[in-house]
Amino acid sequence: ETGVTQSPTHLIKTRGQQVTLRCSSQSGHNTVSWYQQALGQGPQFIFQYYREEENGRGNFPPRFSGLQFPNYSSELNVNALELDDSALYLCASSPDPQQPQHFGDGTRLSIL
């Protein structure tokens, strides 16, 4: 048990729609990072939030956005969904950015 819970576990959307994925970390984990894992590949860093502010971003377009809340939960929002957005979305948390990250089981997003 990593103490990181993601919801929903699976989601099906169509092109052009918007989606919100949620992550709940354990108390005291002020850092949350989001990753996209396409089938057969390693996870790719999307962005990180630390104490409710964005603390770094990977090579993803602005239609990928996020929020972190004081209760150690966070969201990943994706607008104007594209077929290539189909992937497993993982969140990972840690007490601070320098500590090892612990992952949730992810949300499998399928775009039709």
Partner 1 sequence: TQLLEQSPQFLSIQEGENLTVYCNSSSVFSSLQWYRQEPGEGPVLLVTVVTGGEVKKLKRLTFQFGDARKDSSLHITAAQPGDTGLYLCAGAISGATNKLIFGTGTLLAVQP
CA distance 111 to 17: 9
Question: Per CB under 8 A, does 66 bind partner 1?
Answer: no
Piece of the chain touching partner 1 by CB under 8 A; list 12-20, 61-69, 77-85, 104-112: 104-112
E-strand spans in the chain?
5-7, 10-13, 19-24, 31-37, 44-50, 53-57, 64-68, 73-78, 87-94, 102-103, 107-111
Site for partner 1 in 76-95 (CB under 8 A): 90, 92
Nearer Cβ to partner 1, position 10 or 15? 10
Question: Per CB under 8 A, does 45 bind partner 1?
Answer: yes
**Under a CB-based contact definition with an 8 Å cutoff, are residues 86 and 111 in contact?**
yes
Q: Return residues touching partner 1 (CB under 8 A).
A: 2, 4, 6, 33, 35, 40-45, 48, 55-56, 58, 90, 92, 97-98, 100-106
